[in-house]
Chain A
Amino acid sequence: MQRVQGLGRSGAAGSAAPPVPELPAVPPMTAPELREVYRLMSSVRRLDEAAVAWQRQGILPAYAPLLGQEAAQVGSAFAVDRERDFLFPTYREAGVARTLGVDMVEYMSTHRATWHGGLWDAAEHRLAPIQAVVAGSVLHAVGWAHGQRLAAASPGDPQDPVGGLGVAVAYLGDGASSQGDVHEAMNIAAVFAAPVVFFVQNNGWAISVPTERQVAGGSVAARGAGYGMPALRIDGNDAEAVVSATRRALAYARAGRGPVIVEAVTYRRGPHSTADDPGRYRTLDDERRDAGADPLERLRARLLGEGLANEAFVAECDAAAAAEAEAVREGVLALGPRPGAEMFDLVFAEPTEELLRQKAQWRKESEHG
Chain B
Amino acid sequence: MAEAMAPATRELSLQQALNLALSELLAEDPKVLVFGEDVGALGGVFRVTDGLAAKHGSERVFDTPLAESSILGLAIGLAMAGFRPVPEVQFDGFAYPAMSQIVTQLGRMHYRSRGALRMPVTLRVPSFGGIRAPENHGESLEAVFAHVPGLKVACPADPQQAYTLLKAAVRSDDPVIFMEPKSRYWQKGAVVTESADWAGARVARVGRHLTLVAWGAMVARCLQVAELATEDGVDVEVVDLRWLKPIDTESLAASVGKTRRAVVVHEAPLTAGLGAEVAQRITERCFGTLRAPVERVTGFDVPYPSGDLEDEYIPSIDRILFGIQRVLEYRRG
Residues of chain A having any CB pair with chain B under 8 Å: 86, 115-117, 119, 121-124, 128-129, 133, 136-148, 150-151, 153-154, 168, 180-181, 184-185, 187-188, 191, 342, 346-350, 352-355
Contact = CB atoms under 8 A, between A and B. Distances in A.
A355 B113 CA distance: 19
A140 B80 contact: yes
A123 B81 contact: no
A47 B115 CA distance: 28
A117 B110 contact: no
Given A139-B76, A188-B67, A348-B174, A147 B115 contact: no
A136 B105 contact: yes
B117 A144 contact: no
A150 B115 contact: no
Nearest to A132: B104
Given A128-B117, A185-B70, A349-B119, 20 more contacts: A116-B112, A117-B113, A121-B116, A122-B117, A123-B117, A124-B116, A136-B104, A140-B73, A143-B73, A143-B76, A143-B78, A144-B81, A147-B77, A147-B82, A168-B77, A181-B73, A184-B65, A191-B65, A346-B111, A348-B152
B70 A139 contact: yes
Interface in B111-131: 111-120
B100 A144 contact: no
B80 A128 contact: yes
B74 interface: yes
A347 B150 contact: yes
Contacts of A138: 73
B74 A142 contact: yes
B114 A151 contact: no
Interface string B90-120: 0000000000110011000111111111111
Contacts of A348: 110, 150, 152, 174
B7 interface: no
15 contacts: A115-B114, A140-B77, A142-B70, A143-B75, A143-B77, A180-B69, A184-B69, A184-B70, A188-B74, A342-B114, A347-B150, A349-B119, A349-B173, A354-B245, A355-B246
B29 to A, nearest CB: 12
Contacts of A116: 112
A327 B305 CA distance: 63
A144 B65 contact: no
Contacts of B77: 139-147, 168
Contacts of B67: 184, 187-188
B303 interface: no
A316 B115 CA distance: 39
B69 A144 contact: no
Contacts, number: 140
B73 A184 contact: yes
A143 B69 contact: no
Contact of A148 (B73, B81, B116): B81
A133 B80 contact: no
Contacts of B80: 86, 128, 140, 143-144, 147
B113 A122 contact: yes
Contacts of B74: 139, 142-143, 146, 188
User: Which residue, of B65, B70, B119, B249, has the highest number of chain A Cβ atoms within 10 A?
Assistant: B70
A348 B113 CA distance: 11
Nearest to B83: A147
A82 to B, nearest CB: 16
Contact of A349 (B30, B33, B118, B247): B118
A123 B116 contact: yes
Contacts of B119: 349
A124 B115 CA distance: 12
B172 interface: yes
Top-9 shortest CB links A-B: A143-B77, A139-B73, A147-B81, A117-B112, A349-B173, A143-B74, A140-B77, A144-B77, A354-B246
A355 B83 CA distance: 26
